Amino acid sequence: MSFFSLISTVIVGVLFFIIYFGLSNFILDLVCKFKSNSVALENSVRVIIFIAPAFLVLFMFILYPVFETVRLSFYDKFGREFVGWNNYLWALNDPNFRRSILNNLGWLLIVPTLSTFFGLVIANLTDKIWWGTIAKSIIFMPMAISFVGAGVIWKFIYDYRGTGDQQIGLLNAIVVSLGMEPQAWLTISIWNNLFLMAIMIWIQTGLALVIFSAALRGIPNETLEAARIDGASEFRIFWSIIIPFLERTILVIWTIITILVLKVFDIIYAMTNGEWQTEVLANLMYDWMFRGGGDSGRGSVLAFCIMIGVIPILVWNLYRHRQEQKNEI
Amino acid sequence: MKFKLNLSSIFSQLLLLFFVILWITPTFGLLISSFRDKDQLAISGWWTSLINTEVSEIHRTKGKNEQSKENEVYFIRGNLFKEDKGKKILSFGVTSKNINAYIVGEKAVLKDKSEIVVFENGDYEWKSENEFKKKKGRRIFITAKSPPSFTLDNYKEVLFEAGLGQAFLNTIAVALPATLIPLIICSFFAYSLTWMNFFGRDILLATIIASLVVPLQMSLIPILTIYNDLGALFNIEAKSFPGIWMAHTGFGLASTTFLLWNFMKSLPNEMLEAAKVDGASHYDTFVRIVIPLSIPAFASIFILQFLWVWNDLLVGLVFLDKHPSEIILTAKLKELLGSYGENWEILTTGAFISMTVPLFIFFSLQRFFIRGLVAGSVKG
Amino acid sequence: MNILKIKKLLLASVLLVFPTSIFAGSGHYHYDGPDISGAKIKIFGPWLAPEDESFRDVLSIFEKETGASVEYGGSDEFEQIINIDCKAGNPADIAVFPQPGLAANIAATGCLAPQGNDLKQMVLDDYAAGQSWVDLTTYADANGNDQFYGIFFRVNVKSLVWYSPDNFEDNGYEVPKTMEELLSLTEKMASDGNTPWCIGLESGGATGWPATDWMEEIMLRTHPPSVYDQWVSNEMPFNDQKVIDAMKFFGTFALNDDYVAGGSKAVATTGFRDSPKGLFTSPPQCMMHRQASFIPAFFPEGVEAGVDYDFFYFPAYSSKDLGRPVLGAGTVVTATNNDPATTELMKFLMHPEAHERFMGKGGFLTPHKGVDKSKYASDTFRGLHDILVGATTFRFDGSDLMPGAVGAGSFWTGMVDYTNGKSAKDVADAIQSSWDAIK
């Protein structure tokens, strides 16, 4: 496509939605001017106008695929014959599945916690230092790198060459210069999971940092000064003033990162492909879904398990939401 | 007191420096690697290119066709280096069994009584009483001091590749609408979830949070099926730009709405109540009050969604043709990488080239970004 | 996939002999297709740079002669995309499969269109050992009936060992002609203080595959082809002693720290792309590298075929009467519909001119009898061709024929586990149980 047709397509596409909202609301206003007696009707029509596009998208792109996934999880690999609970039973007996569940739990415990914690600490540090903005940009940078690029970057960290050969992985170069044996990091069971998590933390801390550093500005200076005058240590201020103040921010960040971790796929796929006991649910799902002709039944079961993982997060978010609403009243 | 403060400030600075170094080292390694000779990538660590290092290399002399005859003695002369990169040879060898048998300038006597001398700058002279018979030259193993050396070749290779500009343009044509459309739709959606009362609101809210977790891989087939059916019905291409915009909108809907909802919840209630009293409709309130207040939030969500769309490979492969007129940047870079992924240097350079746009967006919207999510997550 | 099917497929691939004189007097006629202007054909395959340009060049002959327009697009996510496209119901007109096993899997979903008898006849007539190629592209359809689905276009030879003639000369090594010689050479190299082999299995999501090639080569050199076929079809279980022995044979190279560059720990983590570079370092990290004909693409820039590197046939035992087995692989072109234009393009790809054009671009080997051997881009490829010709037994890459979950799954991961120290028996048991799981 030529430059201009491309640009015009883009403009038409975006304008379409702006015009939709503008025009439909304009018409509604016009109609209501003549029939000003039915506020309730106006409001419900307005609600429909407001949520219709999002609802349609939600239905077509999220809910329908979810129903489809649940349906397929009861069918055979071609999606032709009904097989009942067979796929679920298979999953329960599959050692890879159990390994993935364990690994995913490890990821869920460690990555959101550390990303959030590092983000919080670094945000606090950058807040007070003149070169904080530069530091912030550097720590945000990994987010702008595609996963393909991140894979290469970390290869240059974890790469292993035999003893005596020149190491091209930084970690091994350091280890060797300290006089120790080089290690094939990604093959060391259990520990290798931590090395992979490091990549995710490296990427997601940027997200947490930027949001926190913004939130920190919202803390009234007087509160902090008062605490300092009272002789509270910086550490104490951090724990008893800053953390409670940022509680809701922490929930938002924790939710987003947890969900990203639940779906973590690219890192595993690019670095180990689940070898050496680093399998996670999303990579296992990909394997069953698309490898060797694909088995949509088993793939769907695994997808379903990932989706179930959201329930605790959902419950907590809704609970907090209710609490807040109560407080307002 | 003053002293104590300084101490803690120095400690903070050092701690931050530690984090910054930790975070930048991997990326820095990639940056250095992207300027290195591609064959060096797999042989030596990237940090070695920053300092004077000792390298071992194999070069080949010229063969019999280049020999000259002076006073009944045959000579082959030349320079081992194709281009001068400031390498200084320390020692050399003539067999793989002993790669530094001779110090530079020393005379190496071969089995056939011919003699080779190699000089520091790579010049060599090979002389023999008998005529040289072999068409291929002899291997010379050198150990040399190599100054830091960088090349722009990798960037040239990627940037001047045919079709890269088109791929860049295609990606922008995907990314801009795929970022703006969800923003428009979701801002109305988030508004109604926050400020309008209607039946099933809380269920909708729960659905949105639950939708955050739906793995994208599961949605591809059902959605493409719908597209194909629509395409067949109206006799249009199933894989098209509007198609991929809506797909990205779908995949970004939940997180965009979630973030906007969190933001709008924190807007001062009184302001909206006041507008209501003045008789403003929800639409007026939204356009006149909520949008201006939300610009920071929009900017921050814009960046996140843009980053995701820009770096996406899979959705682009599924919902667009792999033809040059529709191929996106990530797919194009993968294509340059080769069938077996043999052009490794493309990855390092490609990663930086494709990073420029998101970084530009980040820097230009950074001010908004910071203020944006602040308000979203902090009760104002 | 059902076992009977695979067995049949394999039995027919026995003895794929290339007659030496097939190139004598080949006619250089020109492709002359019907006028199908206005037709639009989409092709999807695994080829990326530079093969995609070579293939587009081949297609331009077709476009010029018929007036149709052809679009080729490639992706390294081929397997995933073809799955999605097929299930969503609108795949490209022509799909080029990197492995016949995958094509068989997709054929079973009913996504591919069976091809007519005239195309089949062309393969039978024009390809050396045509019947074997036909059988390798005959798969069960959605109802379990065997159908002929496509043609092989671009094959490669695996049974090769790459080396540096200079390194051999420096040390006084001779190119081994038999497996016995190769084994004693390996031992001699190690005792001289050299490292005989470079082996690298890392390949991202496909880590482990180079080791499956080793296994197949060893199976073909220690047992008759019929055993190989039983193994690939799982008539003989994967944990049979013969297979375990083959794995241990591989282990004598890969698990011996003196025999492999970087030691056995480096085998699974070294990229298959990086491993051959050890032949060209100073001093050399290894003396030999076993890999298929595509590997020179990964050699350092500037090394020259015949000068800096060369290859020899991965030899067979002289003491065992198993001939000269050769292992190969290839890409399968299939169609997803029977539109006249699509069918015409399939026929075009059987035309000598299509093959010769790709041959001239390099990286292309063909069993087509009607092509002019001088059209090969380099002596290397003529040499490869001779290895094909000299084969007494030709076998297709077994892991490509095994069901995807094994051949592109547990077999790969199993071999990685093996190089990491798991016992051959445990690995073989695990692979067999993964095979049982999908039956």
d(CA A225, CA A146): 42
Rounded to the nearest integer, the mean pLDDT of chain A is 83
Tokens standing for residue A204: 């997601």
Confidence of residue B379 (pLDDT cuts 50, 70, 90): very low
Sheet holding B115-118, edge to edge: B68-70, B73-79, B123-128, B115-118, B107-109
Alpha helices in B201-344 (DSSP H): 201-211, 216-234, 241-265, 269-277, 282-285, 291-311, 314-319, 329-337
The whole-number pLDDT of residue B367 equals 67
| DSSP conformation class of A167 | P
Contact in structure between A217 and A123 (CB atoms under 8 Å): no
Nearest C-alpha of chain A: how many angstroms from C84? 8
Pair (A240, A119) in one structural domain: yes
The whole-number pLDDT of residue C262 equals 85
d(CA A136, CA B367): 12
- Please answer yes or no on whether B42 and C274 come within 8 Å at the CB atom: yes
- Please answer yes or no on whether C90 and B231 come within 8 Å at the CB atom: yes
B10 domain-assigned: no
Helix (H, G, I), strand (E, B) or coil at A251: helix
Whether the pLDDT of residue C389 is over 80: the answer is: no
Which single residue is written with the structure tokens 């890999």? C291
The whole-number pLDDT of residue C116 equals 87
The whole-number pLDDT of residue B7 equals 67
Residue range(s) defining the domain that contains residue A323:
93-328
Pair (B224, B355) in one structural domain: yes
Confidence of residue B3 (pLDDT cuts 50, 70, 90): very low
- Please answer yes or no on whether B340 and C297 come within 8 Å at the CB atom: yes
d(CA B343, CA B334): 10
Which class is domain C3-157+326-396?
alpha beta
How many beta-carbon contacts under 8 Å exist across A and C?
Answer: 87
Whether the pLDDT of residue A211 is over 80: the answer is: no
Query: Which of A148, A171, A290 is the best substitution to test chain C (most C C-beta atoms within 10 A)?
Result: A290
Pair (B122, B268) in one structural domain: no
Pair (A103, A62) in one structural domain: no
Give the CATH number of the domain where residue A222 resides.
1.10.3720.10
Of B231, B322, B336, the CB nearest to C73: B322
Phi, psi (rounded to 5 degrees) for C288: -140, 155
Nearest C-alpha of chain A: how many angstroms from B45? 4
Contact in structure between C334 and C314 (CB atoms under 8 Å): no
Pair (B187, B143) in one structural domain: no
Contact in structure between A243 and A117 (CB atoms under 8 Å): no
Q: Among A238, C397, A126, A63, which Cα is nearest to B203's?
A: A63
Rounded to a whole number of angstroms, the distance between the first and last alpha carbons of chain B is: 34
Pair (A254, A171) in one structural domain: yes
d(CA A174, CA A177): 5
Q: Among A12, A66, A48, A146, which Cα is nearest to B181's?
A: A12
Nearest C-alpha of chain B: how many angstroms from A115? 13
CB contacts, 8 Å: B29 with chain A: 153, 156-157, 170
Q: Among C1, C5, C3, C80, which Cα is nearest to C44's?
A: C80
What are the E-state strand segments in chain A?
A: none
Domain count, chain A: 2
At residue C179's C-alpha, the angle toward residues C178 and C184, to 5°, is 100
Residue range(s) defining the domain that contains residue B249:
156-377
pLDDT tens string B92-126: 888 888 888 888 888 888 888 888 888 888 888 88
Query: Which of B91, B342, B344, B345 is the best substitution to test chain C (most C C-beta atoms within 10 A)?
Result: B342
Pair (B170, B316) in one structural domain: yes
Pair (A237, A121) in one structural domain: yes
Cβ-in-10-Å burial (0-12, 13-18, 19+) of B124 comes to: buried
Closest chain A CA to residue B375: A215
Pair (B272, B166) in one structural domain: yes
| Torsion region of C38: left, alpha or beta (phi above 0 gives left; psi -120 to 50 gives alpha) | left
The whole-number pLDDT of residue C425 equals 94
More confident residue, B324 or C311: C311
The whole-number pLDDT of residue B341 equals 65
Confidence of residue C20 (pLDDT cuts 50, 70, 90): very low
* % of residues, chain C, pLDDT over 70: 93
d(CA C366, CA C368): 5
Chain B from 177 to 236: CB within 8 A of any A CB: 177, 180-181, 184-186, 188-189, 191-192, 196, 198, 202, 204-219, 221-223, 226
Domain count, chain B: 2
- Please answer yes or no on whether C269 and A187 come within 8 Å at the CB atom: yes
Whether the pLDDT of residue A270 is over 80: the answer is: no
Over the range B39-52, which residues count as b (16 or more CB within 10 Å of their CB) and which as e?
bbbbbbbbbbbeee
Pair (B119, B166) in one structural domain: no
Confidence of residue A82 (pLDDT cuts 50, 70, 90): confident
More confident residue, C334 or B145: C334
Question: Within 13 Å, how many C-alpha atoms sit on residue A166's CB side?
Answer: 20
pLDDT tens string C314-345: 999 988 888 888 888 889 999 999 888 999 99
C160-325+401-437 CATH choice from 3.40.605.10, 3.40.47.10, 1.20.20.10, 3.40.190.10:
3.40.190.10
Same-fold call for C3-157+326-396 versus C160-325+401-437: yes
Whether the pLDDT of residue B282 is over 90: the answer is: no
The whole-number pLDDT of residue A1 equals 56
The whole-number pLDDT of residue C216 equals 94
Contact in structure between B251 and A16 (CB atoms under 8 Å): no
Pair (B120, B165) in one structural domain: no
Neighbours, chain A (3 or more CB pairs < 8 A): B, C
Helix (H, G, I), strand (E, B) or coil at C396: strand
Confidence of residue B303 (pLDDT cuts 50, 70, 90): confident
B8 domain-assigned: no
* % of residues, chain A, pLDDT over 90: 7
Task: From residue B142, give the alpha-carbon distance in Å to each of A65, A125, B114, C284.
Answer: 62, 50, 19, 13
More confident residue, C189 or A212: C189
Candidate ranges C8-22, C339-353, C378-392; pick with highest mean pLDDT: C339-353
Confidence of residue B6 (pLDDT cuts 50, 70, 90): low
Domain layout of chain C by residue ranges: 3-157+326-396, 160-325+401-437
Whether the pLDDT of residue C349 is over 60: the answer is: yes
At residue B299's C-alpha, the angle toward residues B298 and B302, to 5°, is 80
Beta-bridge mates of residue C151: C333
d(CA A45, CA B251): 27
A255 domain-assigned: yes
The whole-number pLDDT of residue C16 equals 45
The whole-number pLDDT of residue C300 equals 84
Closest chain C CA to residue B219: C84
The whole-number pLDDT of residue B351 equals 82
- Count of beta carbons in the 10 Å neighbourhood of residue C361: 16
Neighbours, chain C (3 or more CB pairs < 8 A): A, B
Mean of pLDDT values over A42-70: 88
Confidence of residue C418 (pLDDT cuts 50, 70, 90): very high
The whole-number pLDDT of residue B371 equals 45
The whole-number pLDDT of residue C21 equals 39
CB contacts, 8 Å: A147 with chain B: 311
Q: Among B276, B287, B300, which Cα is nearest to B375's?
A: B300
Of C207, C265, C407, the CB nearest to A275: C207
Rounded to the nearest integer, the mean pLDDT of chain B is 82
The whole-number pLDDT of residue C247 equals 94
Pair (B144, B203) in one structural domain: no
Tokens standing for residue A48: 């429909």
The complex scores an ipTM of: 0.84
Candidate ranges A275-279, B13-17, C132-136; pick with highest mean pLDDT: B13-17
pLDDT tens string B46-58: 887 777 778 888 8
Whether the pLDDT of residue B205 is over 50: the answer is: yes
Mean of pLDDT values over C40-67: 88
The whole-number pLDDT of residue B215 equals 83
Pair (A31, A173) in one structural domain: no
d(CA B19, CA B13): 10
pLDDT tens string C270-280: 888 888 988 99
Tokens standing for residue B288: 């006149």
- Count of beta carbons in the 10 Å neighbourhood of residue B160: 9
| DSSP conformation class of B239 | S
- Please answer yes or no on whether A293 and C109 come within 8 Å at the CB atom: yes
Contact in structure between C284 and B93 (CB atoms under 8 Å): no
Pair (B263, B142) in one structural domain: no
Pair (A223, A113) in one structural domain: yes
Mean of pLDDT values over C396-410: 83
B282 domain-assigned: yes
Of B24, B181, B202, the CB nearest to A17: B181
Q: Among C191, C154, C148, which Cα is nearest to C173's?
A: C191
Sheet holding B102-103, edge to edge: B53-60, B139-146, B88-93, B102-103
Nearest C-alpha of chain C: how many angstroms from A210? 32
A84 domain-assigned: no
The whole-number pLDDT of residue C15 equals 41
B44 domain-assigned: no
pLDDT tens string A140-190: 888 888 777 787 788 888 887 777 677 778 888 888 888 888 887 877 778
Closest chain C CA to residue B139: C166
A78 domain-assigned: no
pLDDT tens string C182-227: 999 999 999 999 999 999 998 876 788 899 999 999 999 999 988 9
Whether the pLDDT of residue A275 is over 80: the answer is: no
Whether the pLDDT of residue B1 is over 70: the answer is: no
Whether the pLDDT of residue B158 is over 90: the answer is: no
CB contacts, 8 Å: B226 with chain A: 60, 64
Helix, strand, coil percentages, rounded to 5, for chain C: 45, 15, 40
Whether the pLDDT of residue C1 is over 70: the answer is: no
Candidate ranges B1-15, B92-106, B345-359, C415-429; pick with highest mean pLDDT: C415-429
Residue A55 CB contacts under 8 Å (≥ 6 apart), including other chains: B189, B204
Pair (B184, B73) in one structural domain: no
The rounded Cα C180 to chain-centroid distance in angstroms is 25
Pair (B240, B267) in one structural domain: yes
The whole-number pLDDT of residue B377 equals 42
